[in-house]
Amino acid sequence: MQTTTDRVTHAARWEGALRRWLTHERASASAAGARGPGGNARLTATTGLVLLALLAVEGVTLVAMGPLLSVHVFVGVLLIPPVLLKLASTGYRFVRYYTRDRAYRAAGPPHTALRLLAPLVVASTAALLGTGVLMLVLGPPARWLVAAHIVSFAVWVGAVGVHVLAHLPRVVTLSSADARGPRHERHGVHPRRVVVGAALVIGLAAAVVALPSAVPWHALVG
């Protein structure tokens, strides 16, 4: 049996590991700067924060899908351009790192477990959004897509839940640095805001166009 001393020692080790990880995340976020990999990281973080806000709204619609179906569809379509932007920014980092760009190699890769999880995050996100779009295009007769949408959602929740929890401290740090950090450390903040804003505008336009396609589903959902 573990003694009290052993349990205290074990807890202290976990606490120390957590503190070291958080310290590393804050330090790397600060050291990255606002150019090159630092700018890429801040763009990814800001986009991620926008996605978290939109996903929170989308999650609320699941509580009352019937009356909130149109909101669910509107936000779901609105999510697509920011999701593509985040995939583009992380994909760019991936390519630059594995083509041995010096700055990106110096910034270092994500944790190994998160790199292994990334394909599942991407695949489940693509499946979730893809089945949702197909449901709007094909209409209620394609009910098999409902099952595919639900299954992809179940996988997506697990994968993205781990992804968000792991990256949240860094996302908050980088987003805050772009919003409130010293001016000399916010190089490129305006182009990043324009890119994120453009993704949202495109998403809004697409959502408005897609919204009428939700009408046939109201009779099925109730």
- Across the chain, mean pLDDT equals 85
**Six-digit token pair at 213?**
């396609």
DSSP state of 125: H
What pLDDT does 221 receive? Answer: 72
Q: Give the gyration radius of the chain's Cα atoms.
A: 20
Q: Mapping DSSP to helix (H, G, I), strand (E, B) and coil, where does residue 69 land?
A: helix
The tens digit of pLDDT for each residue in 194-210 reads 999 999 999 999 999 99
The tens digit of pLDDT for each residue in 7-31 reads 556 656 665 555 554 454 444 444 4
DSSP per position, 87-116: HHHHHHHHHHHHTT-HHHHHH-PPPHHHHH
Cα angle, residue 55 at apex, residues 49 and 56 outer, rounded to 5°:
95
Tell me: pLDDT of 81 over 50: yes
The model's pTM is 0.80
At CB < 8 A and 24+ separation, what contacts does 52-61 make?
52/164, 52/171, 54/78, 54/79, 54/82, 55/79
**Six-digit token pair at 111?**
């944790």
- Contact between 103 and 71 under an 8 Å Cβ cutoff? The reply is no
What pLDDT does 32 receive? Answer: 45
What pLDDT does 48 receive? Answer: 94
In single-letter form, the type of residue at position 199 comes to A
CA 63 to chain centre: 22
Q: Which residue has the tokens 């939109």?
A: 54
Q: Mapping DSSP to helix (H, G, I), strand (E, B) and coil, where does residue 1 land?
A: coil
Q: Mapping DSSP to helix (H, G, I), strand (E, B) and coil, where does residue 32 land?
A: coil
